[in-house]
Amino acid sequence: MKPVRFNIDPKDYKHIRVEVEGAIAKLIIAIPDDGGFRDDYQLKLNSYDIGVDVEIADATRRLRYEHPEVSVVCITSGRDDGVFSAGANIFMLRTSDHAHKVNFCKFTNETRCYIEETHETSNQYYFAALNGLSSGGGYELPLACDEIHLVDDRRSAVSLPEVPYLAVLPGTGGLTRVVDKRKVRRDRADIFCSLAEGIRGEKAVEWKLVDAVHPASSFDEKIAARLEELAGDGNPHKGIDLSVLEVDYQEDSATYEFVKVKIDQEKRVATIELTGPSAEDSKIPKNAADLGSDWYGLKFWRELDDAILNLRFNYYEVGTVIIKSKGSCENVIALDNALEAQKDDWFIREVLTEMKRVLKRIDYTSRTLFTFIEPESCFAGSFFEIALASDRAYMMNHEDEENFIGISVLNGGKFPMGNGISRLETRFLDDAESVNNALGAIGKKLNAEQAYELGLVTEIPDDIDWEDEVRIAVEERVSFSPDALTGMEASLRFPGPETMETKIFARLTAWQNWIFTRPNAVGERGGLTMYGDVKNAEFDWKRV
């Protein structure tokens, strides 16, 4: 399959349009039938695939940076045939391999989560104007919005038909969002998710599936009035141009300005080398947006995000990722301090949000993550969050060369995980003393023994044993079952509170992952396989 690319130019959008007028933006879904990522299916009825999701993710990011004046974003359909979206394309799902199906659902969910927090982080309110049938993933995108309005034309409905039609789950968070977010009563949710034709009209409002319905004759007028009401005076900011990243993708590497990825496909190991900031990068002007999108503080995290997604989608068999860095801990700390000092600036607020989202992307990536901290590394502050996100962090205890980590003001909770607490709090669950001891080291250079004493690193081999110890750790890891490792790592990474987000990525993803391999869904006569056939699916009736 051709590689999936996430670094795109809006000029290349094929499936959506973005129209901005003052404080109101419209994200219009108008997917051509022949616009599929592959040519073995058609995207009929505004059904979508990874290509569509990449554009939606890119558009929502660009609205934050390029149009911060926008205070309300309306997602609607550009079709005039009574269809908002038929959801994820079923024939794409049927013919995709298991890994692509799961990664597709995960990436789509991440974008939905970003939309959900955008009202709080970016003062942009997401509004879904459903001008037609909204089915499956075509309803799950509106579920991520702050408000949903549905046309009342006696045929348009919202539905999650995956269970009765396909023998799978609404895999981009539908089940969780219906009950946890929309607060739909459990028994009503049970009926709704079993009713393939869905629910429409006032009943959809009564059941809390949508916020309002409007007759077709006045739908456009009502939506326009509500958008004007929500938009108010907009946000008082002027945006920047978000440049497309420059990257050299090769079979065994991906090279950015500040991030380099080397891939050993035979050993099933990738190494990501991160370049830290210069002293100049920590100098933020009064109007921070003057820095633009090529500024290190934003560009580095965008590059890392693209690198993680590239490994996820295009290198399934690369199961272990080693993360290294080069640079100055002092410069990282200085940049962190500058970000904290100007956190109320709209541009810096967006950069901090970007950092939080990329770190979550790392958390949710089903790869073993080992951080190697060696002399000349710069795992301090925000960079150290990457080490905290790893499954293990090895730090060389070198007799002759300096090797340090550092804690900054940003480690104290600026980047919460999906469980709602910081990585330090997650690491030292219900151990406030250890968290406070770590935060008490802000501004200090911590050598290997000090870092180990504070519980911040896993092991501290000396320089003589270093090569053998890390080699053995990696060789052991790549010998284990990838399925078992995925389950083990996901279970261990998210102790502590459960949130809607952890339910989606841990519980729902795990179940969907399993269901996507079961004969009842993907077997010769499974529900997903038989969709559209005149013959019914055949199930193994044992409940497991």
Reported as a single tens digit per residue, the pLDDT across 258-296 is 999 999 999 999 999 999 999 999 999 999 999 999 999
Q: What is the pLDDT of residue 18?
A: 98
Class of domain 10-231: alpha beta
Where in the chain is CATH 3.90.226.10?
Answer: 10-231, 248-485
- Kindly tell me the burial class for residue 416, based on how many C-beta atoms sit within 10 Å of its own C-beta (0-12, 13-18, 19 or more): middle
CA-wise closest residue to 210 among 127, 119, 88, 116: 127
Reported as a single tens digit per residue, the pLDDT across 402-423 is 999 999 999 999 999 999 999 9
pLDDT at 1 over 80: no
The span from the CA of 510 to the CA of 502, in Å, is: 11
How many Å from the N-terminal Cα to the C-terminal Cα in the chain?
Answer: 34
Q: What is the pLDDT of residue 220?
A: 97
pLDDT at 534 over 90: no
Q: Mean pLDDT of all residues in the chain?
A: 96
For residue 540, the surrounding DSSP H or E stretch is none
- What is the pLDDT confidence band of residue 141, given thresholds at 50, 70 and 90? very high
pLDDT at 345 over 80: yes
Number of DSSP helices (H) and strands (E) in the chain, helices first: 22, 16
Q: What are the backbone dihedrals phi and psi of residue 129, each rounded to the nearest 5 degrees, phi first?
A: -105, 95
Are the CB atoms for 245 and 299 separated by under 8 Å? yes
Tell me, rounded to whole angstroms, the distance of Cα 518 from its chain centroid: 26
CA-wise closest residue to 73 among 125, 114, 116: 125
DSSP 166-231: HSS--TTTHHHIIIIIS---HHHHHHHTT-TT-B-HHHHHHTTSSSEEEEGGGHHHHHHHHHHHHH
The CA-based dihedral angle spanning residues 431, 437, 443, 446, taken in that order and rounded to the nearest 10 degrees: -100
pTM above threshold 0.75: yes
**Which are the contacts of 80, defined by CB distance < 8 A and separation ≥ 6?**
none
The CATH homologous superfamily of the domain defined by 248-485: 2-enoyl-CoA Hydratase; Chain A, domain 1 (3.90.226.10)
- What is the pLDDT confidence band of residue 507, given thresholds at 50, 70 and 90? confident
